[in-house]
Amino acid sequence: MTTTPNAPSAPVPYDPPAQQAYPQDVWPTSARPGPHGDMTVGGVSLSEAAGRFGTPLYLLDEGEVRDRCRTYRAAFPPEEADVVYAAKAFLSRAVVRWIREEGLGLDVCSAGELLLAVGAGFPADRIVLHGNAKSPEDLGTAVRLGVGRIVLDSTSEIVRLAALVPHGTRRPVMIRAVPGISAGGHAAVRTGTDDQKFGLSLMDGSAQHAIDRVLGRPELELVGLHCHIGSQITSITPYVAALRRMVGLLARTRDKHGVVLPELDMGGGHGIAYRAGEPALDIPALASRLRAELASGCARSMLPVPRLTVEPGRAVIGPAGIAVYRVLAVKRTGTRIFVAVDGGMSDNPRPALYGVRYAPRLVGRASTAPGLLTTVVGRHCEAGDILAEAVELPGDVHPGDLLAVPAAGAYHLSMASGYNLVGRPPVVAVSDGTARLLVRRESLDDLRRRDIGA
């Protein structure tokens, strides 16, 4: 089990008026103070939403999602690049519609994500299939539905995919290359080096060997290269370094085979802020640098500039989400104050997995009580079920209060579990003062019905 880190030796006061500010680096731009200490997002009161839908509750600001899609489309204009939303961050039928209407493509990692997307009306030819260990169902579904690109992650996938392609046809594929660049907010999400499970190495020749094999398969059409160097990256520098190495591989492929690959996918991993003042990746600056480096690198290698693709997920959906919890208990143990809520690692495993810490706020009532540093914890049977370490809350926080957690749209419900059989929370979209249910709460009856043994 995960152990609880040491906290400060004594409670520390805070400035109550600071609780009324909603920094837009972590809260949706629509966040506003409401009466009596409440807060509105998308014109919807958080306390009223909690009363209507119950807690834990996830709110998703539709306008924020669409605005972030448009930021990407402006930074990577469609005449030069493709923007592909990484569905693993969070996917629902409504999100599929928003992404389609905003002109983005879709990146999926399983037959389940693929079928949900196509069933919701997303064009299969605008979908990219990823995964380091694609199942026969994943590959078969992708071939049957005609996805736009299949990213090959290993040499074994080359043979398995080729065997599924109908005679006389070809499937467009990309090779996922590992450029040897270390980047990312935690060791568990650094995917650009050789010491992890994804892709084929540039350094040991595996990527070039895979290219050789794909070019020898008439069932497969190699249309480009792909790389993904990590997640929660807030600096442009590693992307530029990776791009330079990928251009080098494009040039070596041209020199060895006389084949000029027309596409280059630089993946995603674009970082956001989880607490006020934390850095976030500057998307327009990233786009400017990548396009400039790609043009200059291709000029030096006498290559035509390939079409660029990026795959944001968290940076589109993360800041649009807010989790709302209800306080169940307040406990003082030694020098620490624990505030326990009705959710935790079953609906948000990221703190336990990556040590991420959030910045919850009291909503639904005003307080002028002196503030204290608290540890906000979940309800689950793990010492590591901690949502926020050393977070300021009013000293009179008590059971029944509501806490709102910003930057909660990505990798929460998509990674949720059935731990302790508490059921997964609902997702509610908010926009123009209206709240509508997107994903209903998982009930105890749902959990019972899955258990069919005797």
Active site residues: 381
Q: Looking at the DSSP assignment, which residues form a beta bridge with residue 369? A: none
Question: In 3D, which of 85, 28, 132, 79 has the Cα closest to residue 270?
Answer: 85
Instruction: Report which secondary-structure segment, H or E, holds 116.
Output: helix 111-119
- In sequence order, what are the beta bridge partners of 201? 178
C-beta neighbour count of 395 within 10 angstroms:
16
CA distances from 174 to 122, 129, 153, 248, 265 (A): 21, 10, 9, 16, 9
Angular region, 433: left φ>0, alpha ψ -120 to 50, beta rest: left
**Backbone angles phi and psi of 188, in degrees to 5:** -70, -10
Contact present, 143 and 164 (Cβ < 8 Å) = yes
What does the block give as tokens for 379?
A: 């309800």
What does the block give as tokens for 97? 């519609």
Backbone angles phi, psi at 381, to 5 degrees: -85, 60
Phi, psi of 375 (to 5 degrees): -115, 115
**Cα angle value 104/97/139 (rounded, 5°):** 70
Nearest to 23 by CA among 293, 407, 428: 407
